[in-house]
Chain A
Amino acid sequence: MVSHAIGLFHDPESALHAAGQLKSAGFAQPEIMSPVPIHGVEEVLGPKKSVIKRFTFFGGIFGALGGFALAAGTAVMYLHPTGGRPIITIPPFLIISYEMTILCGILATVLGFLISARLPVFRERIYVPETAVDKFGVTVPCDSDEQFSDAERILEQAGAEEVRRLGDPS
């Protein structure tokens, strides 16, 4: 049975410290839950790489090409010459292209965010409501009771106000 140890801290620095301790103690990647984004996580837990920018980039490219293709393609499908201009009229279609770049970029960014942040949450994950108010939580999965007491010890040493054990839902 897998459970989680959670230490609640009053301040972000202690939480970060605790996470670093846990990591160096050989625990699996600890998670920090906080009411505000905290700086310096990457120094402690290792660099984080986000795929979001790729989503944004390719979304934008798709939008640019798709926007132009939409405008040009539909113009060719039913010929309605207007204003003495060619059927495929580049300047205005570039504007469509521009707008579609942004639209698709935005949608792709959202998609990238949801995927990379693993949202929305369908399978239950552990959570401590206090971390949304003013506590900073550090959590690690523990395979056994020994591991949990190790973790509890490290967390308390780091200054956790409280350490909880939460069962991982199966």
Chain B
Amino acid sequence: MNVSIVPTLRVLRPAATVALVGLIGIIAGFYANATLFTDTSPEQPIAFSHKIHAGDNEVPCLYCHVQARRSISAGVPSVNKCMGCHLEVATDRPQIRLLANYWDTKEPIPWIKVHDLPDFVHFTHKRHVQAGIECQTCHGPVETMAVVSREAPLKMGLCLNCHKDNAVENGTDCWTCHK
């Protein structure tokens, strides 16, 4: 009589394969959800195109997102601001009519947040804009996007690498962002 663990391993192989496939499935499912099915470019109530505004017509970012250079939040332009141009410009397009509809009813536009940070992150636009960081560094080439999508992962590692590379004052102090 002889002894070896190989026959047993053979016997167990089907079960092990099933378990392994299941495990791989869990990982794949998790990542699939996180990457493929997470809406990084959600459908907005108005199909606003940054490509037309910031790209083709070269409207500066800070023209609409006026607060970015002096406030923690960049701010979405008010409907008022949109209408400032669109009373005159391209008033016949369907999307602009949608806008005009919001304006007439004085309803706010429920834009969906694309670049959303967790509640415990206190990011401030002001410091970054004033330090001369391009908007595109975090937001990606928005001026080429017809529909805004989240390009960068906006995870802590991204912030930290930049802070470390540029030796930001208090850049690695947790309290800089998490208050």
Contacts and interface: CB of A to CB of B under 8 A. Distances in A.
Interface of A: 78-79, 120-129, 166, 169
Contacts of B2: 124-127, 166, 169
B78 to A, nearest CB: 42
Contact of B5 (A79, A121, A127): A121
8 contacts: A78-B172, A122-B4, A122-B5, A122-B6, A124-B2, A125-B2, A126-B1, A169-B2
Interface in B1-55: 1-6
B1 A127 contact: yes
B5 A120 contact: yes
**Secondary structure of the A contact surface, majority rule:** loop
A126 B2 CA distance: 4
Contacts of A127: 1-3
Nearest to B174: A80
Interface of B: 1-6, 172
A166 B1 contact: yes
A125 B172 contact: no
Contacts of A79: 172
A122 B172 CA distance: 52
Given A121-B5, A126-B2, 5 more contacts: A78-B172, A120-B5, A124-B2, A125-B4, A126-B1
B3 A121 contact: yes
A123 B4 CA distance: 6
B70 to A, nearest CB: 31
A79 to B, nearest CB: 7
A121 B2 CA distance: 10
Contacts of A166: 1-2
The 10 A-B residue pairs with the shortest CB-CB distance in the complex, in nearest-first order? A124-B2, A127-B3, A124-B4, A121-B4, A120-B5, A127-B1, A122-B6, A126-B2, A169-B2, A125-B3
Nearest to A78: B172
A52 B1 CA distance: 30
Contacts of B5: 120-122
Contacts of B3: 121, 124-127
Contact of A128 (B1, B4, B172): B1
A169 B1 CA distance: 10
Contacts of B1: 126-129, 166
Contacts of B4: 121-125
Contacts of A125: 2-4
A169 B2 CA distance: 8
Nearest to B164: A78
B172 to A, nearest CB: 7
